Amino acid sequence: MGNTPTQIITRFAPSPTGDLHIGSARTALFNWLLARRHGGKFLLRIEDTDFERSTPEATKSILSGLSWLGIDWDGEPISQRSLQTRHKQVVTQLLDSNKAYKCFSTKEEILENRESAKKSGNSTLFKSPWRNVGKSQHPNEPYSVRLKTPEHEVLKINDKVQGEVSWNNNQLDDMILLRSDGTPTYMLAVVVDDHDMGVTHIIRGDDHLSNAGRQKLIYQALGWSVPIFAHIPLIHGEDGKKLSKRHGALDINSYAEMGYIPEGVINYLCRLGWSHGDDEIFTTSQAKSWFNLENIGKGPARLDLKKMEFVNKQHMSTVSYKLIEKYFDQYLINIKEKALSTSQKLLLNSSFGFLKNKIKTFSDLLEQIRFIRVDRPIDINDEKLNILVINNKNLLKDLTPLLQNVNWNRDELESLLLNFSSSHNIKFGELARPIRIILSGKSHTPSIIDMMTVLGREETLSRFDDFC
Ligand code: GLU
């Protein structure tokens, strides 16, 4: 652990049993940022050894979640399942060097052992009777392979987040490396793969902290150098409880579907457990140049959706318009909405300037641009809105010729509408309401002047015509 390795290699090792969880996305992000900050490598390993729960769909979904976030990996993702021959080879190596042994105790024997220890008030830790039995006395029966945990030693890891953590080896059983059905265990596979992939730093959830201790024993038995560990506190809900579905969406794809943009999510995920002074809003490239292990917090971060929206909002108004257009196209595909037509794209382009400070997500944007997407003649679904338009028909009729002649720009339109309302003894709002509805079919829209400016004279008057 002592010397700083020359090239930093990190990895993300998801088990493909579901979509990319927000906590796992943060783990991936931290590993990615550390590697990118130092010009190192970020590798992907799919831990698909659980045949029953792993699915190719989950792998696909995890990869697409990472790609959506803009987290790229070096080389091809590695399937842990494909490395079993190598895992078994290492088990043989450990057996040959007497660091591991074959254990012929059956499940029933182990269970019995535990029960009787419980009854007599002794430690239920299983001590295999085969630990020191020579080869010549081995029966021809199925066996598992266990690591010979060194006795009477204190096992320590110097975690970059948790500090020094230690266990007494006497509290550990001899862990199984190879099951009696010949399959390598998770604990062994992780160590072998991390070593073979040259992983120098492992950042992951602190639910793996005790695994790190056990894994260190395997590294030591093999004479391999131990990577640097950083176990980050898990994310909690706003109420401080363990994150669960009732706290809101838990997978990254849902955030894409809710209309978040990657920059916003990345920024927010960074702040869930890591800080850079008082900086709240920063870009992914800033995060890439700032990220370090030292500023990962020790306390559990809380998922605060209001804050996440706030962070996203800042990014929606600052990322380039080109990106907005690209992300928005993808968003519409994700939520199975019709794509923007070329003319709608042009209208969006001229509206985004006044819309960008009003929207927190693309779902807000979609709402705001109903007036752009709506087809003529506009169908007013709401009875009350319909009545409002009907009641104001004459007023709108009077306004039409004036609109035909005004210079079509924001200032002139504004002064025309202000003069018109005051000459008709009505408040501006009373005039704006029916106009809003005939331009969009809705009662919540951008300002009528904004809509009219973007739509232009011809389209605005056509929409007036449809109703008057
Ligand atoms: N596959 C493990 C998980 O998804 C991660 C193992 C590790 O990071 O060492 O929790």
* Pair (258, 356) in one structural domain: yes
First to last CA, the chain: 79
Among protein residues, the one with the nearest Cα to ligand 1's atom 7 is 13
DSSP-based three-state secondary structure for 22: helix
Which of 24, 44, 208 is the best mutation target for the ligand 1 pocket, counting ligand atoms within 8 Å of the beta carbon and taking the most?
208
- Ligand 1 center to 26 CA (angstroms): 13
Return the closest-CA partner of residue 178 out of 265, 93, 249, 298: 93
User: Looking at the structure, do residues 322 and 409 belong to the same domain, yes or no?
Assistant: no
Whether residue 5 is predicted with pLDDT greater than 80 in this model: the reply is no
pLDDT, position 1: 45
Instruction: Say if ligand 1 is within 6 A of residue 190 CB.
Output: yes
What is the pLDDT confidence band of residue 2, given thresholds at 50, 70 and 90? Answer: very low
70: which 2 tokens?
């803009």
16 CA → ligand 1 middle, Å: 10
Determine the angle formed by the axes of helices 448-467 and 342-355, rounding to 10 degrees: 140
The SS3 assignment for 324 reads: helix
C-beta 47 within 6 A of ligand 1: yes
- CB 213 near ligand 1, within 6 Å: no
Closest among 289, 83, 301 to 192, alpha carbons compared: 83
Complete DSSP assignment for 437-455 = HHHHSSSS-S-HHHHHHHH
- Mean pLDDT value of segment 284-292: 98
348 to 258, 306, 325: CA distances (angstroms): 19, 26, 9
Same domain assignment for residues 436 and 348: no
Looking at residue 391, its pLDDT comes to 94
- Whether 195 is in a domain gets the answer no
What lies within 8 Å, CB to CB, of 76 at 6+ separation is none
Best substitution site from 9, 50, 204 to test ligand 1's pocket, by max atoms within 8 Å of Cβ? 204
Q: How many domains does the chain have?
A: 3
- What pLDDT is recorded for position 217? 97
Rounded to the nearest whole angstrom, what is the distance from the C-alpha of residue 442 to the centroid of ligand 1?
A: 49
Which atom, in ligand 1's list, is nearest to the CA of 215? 9
CB 204 less than 6 A from any atom of ligand 1: yes
Short-list 159, 157, 298, 292, CA closest to 230? 159
List the CATH number of the domain containing 444.
1.10.10.350
Tokens of 264: 């916003």
d(CA 356, CA 328): 13
415 pLDDT higher than 80: yes
Cβ 87 vs Cβ 188: under 8 Å: yes
Q: Is the model's pLDDT at 3 over the cut of 90?
A: no
Give the residue carrying structure tokens 């989950």: 58
Radius of gyration of the chain from its Cα atoms, rounded to whole angstroms = 31
Task: Tell me which of 50-59, 114-123, 320-329, 370-379 is least confident.
Answer: 114-123
CA of 136 to the centre of ligand 1 (A): 38
CB of 434 sitting under 6 A from ligand 1: no
Q: Looking at the domain assignment, is residue 46 inside a domain?
A: no
| Domain co-membership, 341 together with 400 | no
- % the chain with pLDDT above 70: 99
Residue 388 Cα to ligand 1 middle (Å): 59
Of the pLDDT bands very low, low, confident and very high (cuts 50, 70, 90), residue 271 is: very high
Q: How far apart are CA 459 and CA 253, in angstroms?
A: 37
User: What confidence tier does 171 reach under pLDDT thresholds 50, 70, 90?
Assistant: confident
For residues 70 and 72, give the distance between their C-alpha atoms in angstroms, rounded to a whole number: 6
Tens digit of each residue's pLDDT (9 = 90 or more) over 49-88: 998 999 999 999 999 999 999 999 999 999 999 999 999 9
Strand pairing category for 176-178 and 201-205: unpaired
- Measure the CA–CA gap between 361 and 283, rounded to whole angstroms: 17
The per-residue pLDDT for 360 is 98
Q: Is residue 58 part of a domain?
A: no
Query: 392 and 353 in one domain?
Result: no
Last residue of a domain, one of 135, 155, 186: 186
Residue nearest to atom 6 of ligand 1 (CA): 13
* pLDDT range class, residue 170, cuts 50, 70, 90: confident
Please state the rounded mean pLDDT for residues 83-110: 97
Expressed in angstroms and rounded, the spacing between residue 301 Cα and the centre of ligand 1 is 20
Q: According to the model, what pLDDT value does residue 122 have?
A: 87
Gap between the Cα atoms of 384 and 389, Å rounded: 9
Whether residue 337 is contained in a domain is answered as yes
Read off the pLDDT of residues 35-49 as tens digits, 9 standing for 90 and up.
999 999 999 999 999
Ligand 1 neighbour 227 (Cβ under 6 A)? no
Stretch among 147-156, 210-219, 271-280 having the lowest mean pLDDT: 147-156
**Helices within 47-83 (DSSP H only):** 56-69
Establish if 373 belongs to a structural domain: no
Q: Domain range spanning residue 288? A: 245-363
